[in-house]
Amino acid sequence: MDFSLNEDQLMMRKMVLDFVEEEVIPQAMIIDKTQEFPLTLIRKMGQLGLMGISIPEAFGGSGLDFLSYILAIEEIARGSATTAIILETHTSIGTLPILYFGTEEQKRKYLPKLARGEMIGAFALTESNSGSDASSIVTSAERRGDHYILNGGKRFITNAGYAGVYTVLASTNRALGNKGITAFLLDANTSGLSIGKAEEQMGLHGSSTCELIFEDVIIPVENRLGEEGQGFKIAMSLLDGGRIGVGAQALGIAQAAFEAALAYSQERVQFKKAICNFQGIQFMLADMATQLEAARFLIYHAATLQSLGLPYSKEASMAKLFASDAAMKVTTDAVQILGVYGYTREYKVERYLRDAKITQIYEGTNQIQRILIAKHLRK
Ligand code: COS
């Protein structure tokens, strides 16, 4: 497959690179320390067209393809994984559900605001007792005439509290299992919706991960996304794209860690020479560079298949699995190369290590990715 980027993709990547160098990197350590949600960067991403990168121009977006979006996530994650996951959630599982499954009216209502970054998107599937087993959700939506009554709760919801709209998965018929799950668009200001516990996380400081509580929330029928019972398939198909996004996030973090380790190894002198001249360090750097290259190929391959409208579930799982495992290895080795300096908060590599870990967990653990890949091998 040819990964030579077209003019639009190259221009977009250059624009993102400048934004990352000038505005994201200088803020990243501050965001990590203060743990403040980076609203200024999000507004700026809205002005640059990044919040609507995958939305057609007819709905106020930039109208770029999926690979362009993935390139943007990779670059932003190189600067700040926190900022990248906000954009990734907003796009892959916050905005694309409406673009792919929404009615014309739903698209007109939400997409322009999401594209400008005036509204942030989020996705609410996970519950306290439903993680990997996604079809075991107990949040219920009961039809009553022209509306549904939503009760229950969600856990670990990225962008919660800042999102203007949530794609919520709820059971409309428990007896039907995954075929009784339905998706809804829930406006953040709807009465009965409240934001619960905010999680304190190992990494991604400054991102928001909270509980959602639903108490007799009234959702009009026109806010149902797709048909009753289609919710599980909608969620699964969205997660396929989301997983490529998480892979790109992992890749960006790993790239940053590699660059930091390489630069340090060229400056750090021990035994009268820069440590990059020792074969022990060279082998580590060579392995890191090779892992990055392999991850990049898997991610661009999966994103290109998505852009072309070809099947890509297996490739998305492979990309996410490989890139996130590579990110853990590369960030761990980066800390090792910086030695005790790398273990301190004065250097960035310990942040990269903390930020990388979640990429092996969210949007489907790497154990789930292996199950999914194995299922495809049987077909
Ligand atoms: N796209 C479209 N449809 C899909 C799909 C996909 N990627 N994956 C599965 N489906 C469909 C299947 O075809 C099946 O439909 P039929 O019954 O009509 O054949 C249906 O969905 C159920 O699929 P399956 O039997 O594989 O579902 P399981 O309950 O066994 O669950 C896993 C499968 C484990 C893969 C799923 O629960 C999962 O992805 N878990 C991880 C959840 C996750 O990623 N959470 C992250 C938090 S959200 S940010």
pLDDT tens profile 331-353: 999 999 999 999 999 999 999 99
| pLDDT score at 148 | 98
Instruction: Please report whether residue 51 resides in a domain.
Output: yes
Q: Which atom of ligand 1 is nearest to the CA of 177?
A: 29
Instruction: Please report whether residue 347 resides in a domain.
Output: yes
| Predicted confidence (pLDDT) per residue in 292-336, tens digit | 999 999 999 999 999 999 999 999 999 999 999 999 999 999 999
| Predicted confidence (pLDDT) per residue in 237-257, tens digit | 999 999 999 999 999 999 999
Residue 3: which pLDDT band, with cuts at 50, 70 and 90? confident
Ligand 1 centroid, distance to 236 Cα (angstroms) = 5
Ligand 1, pocket-test mutation among 92, 158, 178, most atoms within 8 A of CB: 178
| Predicted confidence (pLDDT) per residue in 89-124, tens digit | 999 999 999 999 999 999 999 999 999 999 999 999
276 and 266 fall within a common domain: yes
Ligand 1 centroid, distance to 374 Cα (angstroms) = 14
| Predicted confidence (pLDDT) per residue in 144-189, tens digit | 999 999 999 999 999 999 999 999 999 999 999 999 999 999 999 9
CATH of the domain at 363: 1.20.140.10
Which residue numbers are catalytic? 363
Task: Please state, in angstroms and rounded to a whole number, the distance separating the CA atoms of residues 107 and 70.
Answer: 22
Strands 273-274 and 269-270, bridge-based pairing: antiparallel
62 and 137 fall within a common domain: no
Ligand 1 neighbourhood includes 313 CB (under 6 angstroms): yes
What DSSP string runs through 332-371? HHHHHHHHHHHTSTTSSHHHHHHHHHGGGTTTS-HHHHHH
Task: Please state, in angstroms and rounded to a whole number, the distance separating the CA atoms of residues 28 and 257.
Answer: 14
User: What are the residues whose beta carbons fall under 8 Å from the beta carbon of 83, sequence distance 6 or more?
Assistant: 24, 28, 31, 38, 41, 42, 45, 76, 77
CATH of the domain at 24: 1.10.540.10
74 and 88 fall within a common domain: yes
Ligand 1 neighbourhood includes 233 CB (under 6 angstroms): yes
Q: Which atom of ligand 1 is nearest to the CA of 233?
A: 3
| pLDDT score at 1 | 61
Ligand 1 neighbourhood includes 232 CB (under 6 angstroms): yes
- DSSP reduced 3-state for 172: coil
| Domain boundary pick from 227, 262, 278 | 227
| pLDDT score at 4 | 84
244 and 356 fall within a common domain: yes
379 has pLDDT over 90: no
| pLDDT score at 198 | 97
Task: Please state, in angstroms and rounded to a whole number, the distance separating the CA atoms of residues 182 and 103.
Answer: 15
Q: Which atom of ligand 1 is nearest to the CA of 133?
A: 37
Ligand 1 centroid, distance to 100 Cα (angstroms) = 18
Ligand 1 neighbourhood includes 119 CB (under 6 angstroms): no
Residue with tokens 């700040």: 80
As for how many domains the chain has, the answer is 3
Whole-model pTM: value is 0.96
CB 362 within 8 A of CB 245: no
Least Cα distance to 51 among 64, 33, 67 occurs for 64
Ligand 1 neighbourhood includes 236 CB (under 6 angstroms): yes
| pLDDT score at 378 | 84
Instruction: Please report whether residue 305 resides in a domain.
Output: yes
**Average pLDDT rounded to a whole number, residues 343-369:** 97
| Predicted confidence (pLDDT) per residue in 175-234, tens digit | 999 999 999 999 999 999 999 999 999 999 999 999 999 999 999 999 999 999 999 999
Ligand 1 neighbourhood includes 130 CB (under 6 angstroms): no
Least Cα distance to 113 among 168, 189, 52, 159 occurs for 52
Ligand 1 neighbourhood includes 239 CB (under 6 angstroms): yes
User: What are the residues whose beta carbons fall under 8 Å from the beta carbon of 19, sequence distance 6 or more?
Assistant: 44, 45, 48, 76
Rg of the chain over Cα atoms, rounded to whole angstroms, equals 21
| Predicted confidence (pLDDT) per residue in 130-146, tens digit | 999 999 999 999 999 99
347 and 318 fall within a common domain: yes
CB 284 within 8 A of CB 337: yes
Range of the domain at 106: 7-120
Cα angle: 175, vertex 146, 212; to 5 degrees = 65
80 and 140 fall within a common domain: no
Letter string b/e over residues 200-225, b meaning 16 or more CB atoms within 10 A of that residue's CB: ebebbbbbbbbbbbbeebebeeebbb
CB atoms within 10 A of CB 269: 10
Ligand 1 centroid, distance to 157 Cα (angstroms) = 19
| pLDDT score at 2 | 63
209 and 246 fall within a common domain: no
68 and 110 fall within a common domain: yes
| Predicted confidence (pLDDT) per residue in 273-294, tens digit | 999 999 999 999 999 999 999 9
19 and 145 fall within a common domain: no
Instruction: Please report whether residue 44 resides in a domain.
Output: yes
| pLDDT score at 169 | 98
